[in-house]
Amino acid sequence: MISVNQAKDILKATVSTGEIKHLPLSKTLDLIAAEDIFSPIEVPSFDNSAMDGYAITWEDNLDTWEITDVIAAGNGKQHQLQYGKAGRIFTGAPLPKGSDTVIPQEFVHREGNLIRIIDKGKFQKGSNVRFKGAQTKTGEVILKKGSQITPGTIGLLASVGISEVPVFSPPKVAIIITGNELQEIGKPLAFGQIYNSNRPVLESYLKKLGIQDILSYQAEDEPKATQKIIEEALAKADLVLLTGGISVGDYDFVKNGLENAGVKELFYKIRQKPGKPLFAGKKGRQMVFALPGNPASVITCFNQYVRPSLLQWMGHTSSWSAHEVLPIANDFIRNAGLTFFLKAKVEHGVVHILNGQESFNLISFGSANCLAEIPEEIEQLKAGEKIAVYYW
């Protein structure tokens, strides 16, 4: 049995990044850029007006200018101004040749086709002009490898005309649920059955990470049936995620099934609560996690080991760190020896440990917003001492 930190170190050293794919820009939200991205053009690609107003040549050094042109955005015509002339110009329109400054319309007094600047001292050459290349130069790195693509990033890439982006593609994930006692929601329960909460929980977590390619299986508590589904999942998925059947009971067939399918064990059993009988393995580039079947164990093990492994696969570089270190609200006492991951709620910067910490008990997940970590060597915490928290 290994420690939590040892298990995480093994996974950090083992999980590969996913295949690099060039995806349409619209499908890259929240993914990670797999390469530096360079601008193919200058932005703006022409000098243009930042205001509705009047384009002039500052060096004319006149008191009045005659309006000879009207320049609208997108009309496709290149205007040119002569000495002493001005152009009525609108936001985003190309600056006419021979001009270098735009005076906002509210600072201009106009009489017929003549204009005079009000309070000329507020302006200088180049005022209210967006010059060519002011945002981006051709060949300039506009997004570094490893950057997460946000809506703002998509706007930036669209502004330079990039339609496809190289990203670390999300893995295809197979979920295998074991346990003859499980019944799917929407169907009546027979005596001795419980509803399957693990499947919708895991699917929700995966979709929240941007993983849409999800396969789902139900395995009978029988050795050959379990191994057959494991082999089928391994033939189709990059990461296989099992719940239940990984302990040492008479109906726990997952570990043998994985070994028979050629999965190499990375570790089995961690000094933690909940989720001690956690298995992690690898077959080639494929990752396999077999989680204990209790719902709280599934949620804990997913968030502590599977989620950061998936993020690392997708190119994230800091997926294993605690989200915050905050003071605990009340004294906490327990026996040392296991790392505890406790359902908790952070309010006003303080961690409140919730009731209902049993591994079967989901009631506190209704109000919990994080897991709080109590390291294995800690027996007692005083209110105000700081602990690590991991948000969902």
Q: What is the pLDDT of residues 53-74, one digit of tens each?
A: 999 999 887 889 999 999 999 9
What pLDDT band is residue 181 in, cutting at 50, 70 and 90?
confident
Could you give the count of Cα atoms lying within 13 Å of 307 in the half-sphere of its Cβ? 24
Element (H, E) at 71: strand 64-71
What's the length of the chain?
A: 392
pLDDT at position 213 is 96
pLDDT at position 251 is 63
pLDDT in tens, 371-392: 999 999 999 999 999 999 999 8
CA nearest neighbour of 123 among 57, 79, 65, 70: 57
Domains and CATH numbers, the chain: 4-19+170-313 (3.40.980.10), 26-42+135-168 (3.90.105.10), 48-130 (2.170.190.11), 324-391 (2.40.340.10)
Whether the Cβ atoms of residue 276 and residue 270 lie closer than 8 Å to each other: yes
Mean pLDDT over 282-305 rounds to 95
Beta bridge partners of 49: 129
Mean pLDDT over 31-51 rounds to 96
Q: Is the peptide bond before 274 cis (omega within 30 degrees of 0)?
A: yes
The pair of structure tokens assigned to 322 is 């605690």
Whether the Cβ atoms of residue 314 and residue 168 lie closer than 8 Å to each other: yes
pLDDT in tens, 237-283: 999 999 998 876 766 789 999 999 999 999 999 999 999 999 999 99
3-state helix, strand, coil in the chain (%, to 5): 20, 35, 45
pLDDT at position 250 is 66
